[in-house]
Amino acid sequence: MALAGVLVVGGLGWLYGSKIAELISVTAHVQSLQQEETALLRQRAQLRESLEVVDEPEVVEAEARRVLRWGYENEELLILVED
């Protein structure tokens, strides 16, 4: 009878112990996802701010100069090369 009690207690300990370990793992995953969500929300806010100014002539000109190396006819383009 005592052996059966030990087996039952041991079985319950294994069953609930594994559930507790699984719960801890899921909780850590949820925290990780919450941190990722916070970072993505921050990034979305920054992108929305960028969208507000994207059509401003100064921004368009600055991007054209940076990306396309665009300039006016009377300007000389200076390209610096790092060694």
19-78, pLDDT tens digit by residue? 777 888 999 999 999 999 999 999 999 999 988 888 888 988 888 888 888 888 888 877
Q: Please, are residues 77 and 69 in contact by the beta-carbon 8 Å criterion? A: yes
pLDDT of residue 45: 96
Question: How far apart (Å, rounded) are the C-alpha atoms in residues 66 and 28?
Answer: 43
Q: By three-state DSSP, how is residue 6 classified?
A: helix
Q: CB–CB of 64/70 below 8 Å?
A: yes
- Where along the chain do its domains lie? 15-68
Angle value at C-alpha 82, between 79 and 83, nearest 5 degrees: 140
Q: Quote the pLDDT of residue 4.
A: 59
Judge if pTM exceeds 0.85: no
Question: pLDDT tens across 6-33, in order?
Answer: 555 666 666 667 777 788 899 999 999 9
